[in-house]
A = this chain, B = another copy of it.
Amino acid sequence: MLARVSTNPAFKRLPRAVREQQMLDAAVKVFSRRGYHAASMDEIAEDAGISKPMVYAYLGPKEDLFVACLHRECTRMIEAIAGAAAPDLPPDERLWRGLRAFFGFVGAHRDGWSVLYRQTRGEPPFAGQLATMRARMVEVIAGMLDDALRAQGREVRETDLEVIAYALVGASESLADWLADNPTADPEKTATRMMNVAWLGAGQLIEGAVWRPADG
């Protein structure tokens, strides 16, 4: 039988780098829809408009493919947040910018978020990878809190800071899930809500306190 190349005149041979991105796009989409195990290499290949052996040739077996997805999405996200980083601002402003960048990213890459977090959490082979990245985030937040404390000449045990940071990261992840599930929801508004809980706490919220962004 003839190859697809000659059957379909619209089909084009493409350089490796391009195909790889197409495959990763497809993989992220399928992984996020089906979950790691239920996603089949055949479906990913088909969705990428290419045949399975090409996927193996370029990106290796399933596990490597998933890690590649993880890596790409992770890098994008870190970049997005890093772009908003500004170490010399007051802590609430730093937190706010970080959150806004984070929720903005999730809102714009809902599939990516899903594959990155929801899938990875439960799968033992990848959970470690994710934990490492989360640890980096926790460290950043904890460092920020620590800075703020030292500026006042006070100190808190490191474990406490870490746990607090962990809670904040967890809350953000959950709201990100919520955002990913509610396509009509507004990332900016979600970030504001998260900022309110994180900064003011339930106690002050009940008493009517509100945190608002300084600009706009």
Contact = CB atoms under 8 A, between A and B. Distances in A.
Interface of A: 33-38, 91-92, 95, 118-124, 145, 148-149, 152, 154, 160, 163-164, 166-175, 177-178, 190, 193-194, 196-208, 211
Nearest to A169: B174
Contact of A170 (B149, B160, B175, B196): B175
A148 B37 CA distance: 45
Contacts of A200: 201, 203-204
A199 B201 contact: yes
26 contacts: A34-B124, A38-B124, A91-B206, A121-B121, A121-B122, A122-B122, A145-B205, A154-B208, A163-B175, A163-B178, A163-B190, A164-B205, A166-B175, A166-B178, A167-B171, A167-B193, A168-B202, A169-B174, A170-B172, A170-B173, A170-B177, A171-B171, A174-B174, A198-B201, A200-B204, A203-B211
Given A166-B174, A201-B200, A123 B206 contact: no
B154 A167 contact: no
Nearest to A177: B170
A212 B39 CA distance: 48
A123 B35 contact: yes
Nearest to A161: B205
A170 B171 contact: yes
Q: Give me the 6 closest cross-chain CB pairs, A-B, nearest first.
A: A170-B174, A201-B201, A171-B171, A37-B37, A167-B171, A199-B203
